[in-house]
Amino acid sequence: MSAIRPGRGEWTLSDLDKLPLTTDLPTAASILSMGTTKARSLARAGQFPVRVIKHGDRFLVPVAALRRLLVEADG
């Protein structure tokens, strides 16, 4: 049984606490209220708002970096 995930732009810091150390690009995009296509484009261009880790053909995003960005934006 999979847990229901928050929708795009509906993520809270508490939701982020439930994620592992890294997350996939579609989840990171949802957290940042952007579409997956835009996220992939930014990641490929090296312009994603936080550091991404390229692993094969996948992009991984450190959850701590997403958390910092959200805290700064809320600041």
Reported as a single tens digit per residue, the pLDDT across 41-66 is: 999 999 999 999 999 999 999 999 99
For the stretch 23-32, pLDDT in tens is 999 999 999 9
- Decide if 44 is inside a domain: yes
- Decide if 4 is inside a domain: no
- Decide if 19 is inside a domain: no
Range of the domain at 70: 24-74
- Decide if 13 is inside a domain: no
- Decide if 18 is inside a domain: no
Rounded distance between C-alpha atoms, residue 17 and residue 30, angstroms: 15
CA distances to 8, 23, 28, 42, 60 from 13, in Å: 14, 14, 13, 23, 19
The domain tally of the chain equals 1
